[in-house]
Amino acid sequence: MADNQGPSSAAVLLGFLSGAALGAVTAILLAPRTGQESREMLRGYARRAEDGLRDLVGEAGERFEGAVEEGRDFIESKKTVLRDAFDAGREAMRREREHFTKGEQS
């Protein structure tokens, strides 16, 4: 019953972090900057990566909460169906018992 709606959050996170790390290393190696400039640039990359990670975690949390709510609704709907079926069975049993008892009394 799984919905394939695209890559998992873990795959997106891994891709994001890998890309951020690769980009940072490449920028440091290829850019003719001083150590101070390189550190500032790395801080900027780290901040953007942190923001992206927070967004991803927030989105994953929202999806999880939505899935939990759907699960609760599903269980609640099935509980009602089972309760109705049980009540109908009990009522049918009562009618049959009543019918059987009337037949014995005749």
List pLDDT tens digits, range 15-59: 888 888 888 778 777 777 787 887 887 788 888 888 888 888 888
Residue 88 to residue 82: CA distance in whole angstroms: 10
Which residues have C-beta within 8 Å of that of residue 53, sequence separation ≥ 6?
13, 16, 17
Both tokens assigned to 74: 């599903």
Question: pLDDT confidence of 106, banded at 50, 70, 90?
Answer: low
Residue pair 63/76 in contact (Cβ under 8 Å)? The answer is no
| pTM: predicted TM-score of the whole model, two decimal places | 0.44
Residue 95 to residue 106: CA distance in whole angstroms: 17
